[in-house]
Amino acid sequence: MRAAYDAGARYARERKVFGKALADYQLTLAKLGLLGASLRACQEMTYHVAELMDQGKGQMEASLVKLYACRAAENLTREALQIHGGMGYSEETPVSRYFVDARVLSIFEGAEETLALKVVARELLTNAAPRQA
């Protein structure tokens, strides 16, 4: 994800559109800011889950982070590809490969639906407090 973010930011500084760098447009800056926040959130959640796993806990949390991070990776690489425009779709650009690689994350090592149903939902239901009448 970080490589896709960096590639998008770098290209936005280099690419000129209507006489200005793409990075000089507010929409591009806002996009990069939101993507950066998403990237940082994924990093922090991963660090937290790693601490839980070191303590022998965090199975459900790890699944939650995988669900979130896979979606975030798809969104981030899609937006990096969008910043590159038609050039990003070209197979010669690394961002094109990042996009393909991000898509497969939510399929390998447990599809999103399997994680959501079998791990996360089951754990949440098991640990849900019973309703008070």
Is 109 a catalytic site residue? yes
Cα 67 from Cα 61, distance rounded (Å): 10
What global pTM score does this model have? 0.77
Q: What percent of the chain has pLDDT over 90?
A: 41
22: confidence class by pLDDT, cuts 50, 70, 90: very high
The answer, yes or no, to whether residue 3 has pLDDT greater than 90, is: no
Residue 110: per-residue pLDDT = 65
- C-alpha 20/C-alpha 66 separation (Å) is 38
**Could you state, in order of their start, the residue ranges of all structural domains in the chain?**
2-127
User: Rounded to an integer, what distance in angstroms lies between the CA atom of residue 11 and that of residue 22?
Assistant: 8
Q: Which CATH number fits domain 2-127: 1.20.140.10, 3.40.30.160, 1.10.3720.10, 3.40.50.300?
A: 1.20.140.10
Q: Provide mean pLDDT across the span 14-19.
A: 92
At 120, is the pLDDT very low, low, confident or very high (cuts 50, 70, 90)?
confident
Average pLDDT, the chain: 86
In the predicted model, what is the mean pLDDT of residues 76-103? 88
Which member of 74, 109, 112, 123 is catalytic?
109
Nearest to 73 by CA among 41, 30, 51: 41
Residue 16, classed as helix, strand or coil, is strand
Q: Is pLDDT at 92 greater than 90 in this prediction?
A: no
Q: Which two tokens stand for residue 129?
A: 């407090």
How many CB atoms sit inside 10 A of residue 85's CB?
12
Which of 4-8, 36-40, 119-123 is the most confident on average?
A: 36-40
3-state secondary structure of 6: helix
Strand 16-17 relative to strand 20-21, pairing: antiparallel
